Amino acid sequence: MFYIHCPYCDEHREEEEFHAKGQAHIARPLDPDACTDEEWGNFLYFRANPRGIHHELWVHAAGCRKFFNITRDTQTYAILETYRLGEQPSVTSQS
């Protein structure tokens, strides 16, 4: 088990309180109606799955219920940082 720091609660809590929601920093198309089927499919379904540093979206489901981002090393499972939505990571990913 590992502990995750919630940037909103400002506490380290057990991982069971959190749920991963996928890759962070995915930009929604500005005009979805103008997207081709391929562009819309890429937005909905295709995500990076790197080996190494990766930015992920998580939710504190059993706590404040807010979404936030985690920078995590997928090889070691080490959490390098957590930060609020709208903030930029200080650790850059390899993808």
pLDDT attached to residue 18: 98
In this predicted structure, the answer to whether residue 95 has a pLDDT above a threshold of 80 is no
What is the tens place of the pLDDT at every residue in 21-78? Answer: 999 999 899 999 999 999 999 999 999 888 999 999 999 999 999 999 999 999 999 9
Domain boundaries, the chain: 3-25+40-84
Residue 94: pLDDT band (50, 70, 90) is low
Window from 1-5, 7-11, 59-63 with minimum mean pLDDT: 1-5
Residue 45 is which amino acid? Y
pLDDT attached to residue 50: 86
* CATH 3.30.2270.10 for domain 3-25+40-84: yes
| Residue 32, C-beta contacts closer than 8 angstroms, at least 6 positions apart | 40
